[in-house]
């Protein structure tokens, strides 16, 4: 095992308060990517 993720990074990854805001941010960002529309490629290019 090599410690590739520092203690501070890990703290941020597991802190429920920080992660609560990250959860809101991720939910919105994912909605933008996934529900943000799709279409064809043949006419566009």
Partner 1 sequence: MSKIVILGAGISGHVAATHLRRKLSKQHEVVVVSPNSNYQWVPSNIWVGIGKMKSEKIYFPLAPLYKKKGIQFKQAKAISFHPEGDKTEQTPYVLSEYVVGNQKGQQEKITYDYLINATGPKLNFGATEGLIPGKNKAYSVCTYSHANHAWGGLNKVIQQLKAGKKAKILIGTGHAKSTCQGAAFEYILNVEQELRKHKVRDKAEVTWISNEYQLGDFGMDGMLMRYGSLTMKSHEMIEMIFEDRGIKWILGAGVHKVEDGVAHYENLEGEHKSETYDFAMLIPSFSGHGFKAYDKNENDITEKLFKGFMIVDADYTAKPYEEWSVRDWPETYQNPNYKNIFAPGIAFAPPHSISKPRKSKNGTDITPAPPRTGMPSGITAKLVADNIIDSIKGGKKSLHHKGSMGNMGAACIASAGFGLTKGSGVSITTFPIVPDYEKYPETQGRQLGKTFGEIGLAGHWLKLALHYAFIYKAKMKPFWWLIPE
| In contact, 17 and 11? CB cutoff 8 Å | no
Residue 40 is encoded by which pair of tokens? Answer: 């064809």
Closest C-alpha to 26, from 9, 42, 8, 13: 13
Q: How far is the CB of 4 from partner 1 (least distance, A)?
A: 4
Place of tokens 């597991």: 14
**9 to 38, contacts with partner 1 by CB under 8 A?**
12-16, 19-20, 22-23, 26-27, 29-36, 38
8 is a site residue for partner 1 (CB under 8 A): no
**Contact call for residue 3 and partner 1 (CB under 8 A):** yes
We find the least distance from the C-beta atom of residue 43 to partner 1, in angstroms, to be: 9
């Amino acid at each position: 095992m090599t410690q590739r993720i520092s203690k501070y990074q890990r703290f941020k990854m597991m802190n429920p308060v920080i992660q609560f805001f990250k959860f809101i941010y991720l939910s919105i960002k994912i909605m933008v990517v996934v529900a943000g529309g799709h279409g064809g490629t043949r006419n566009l290019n």
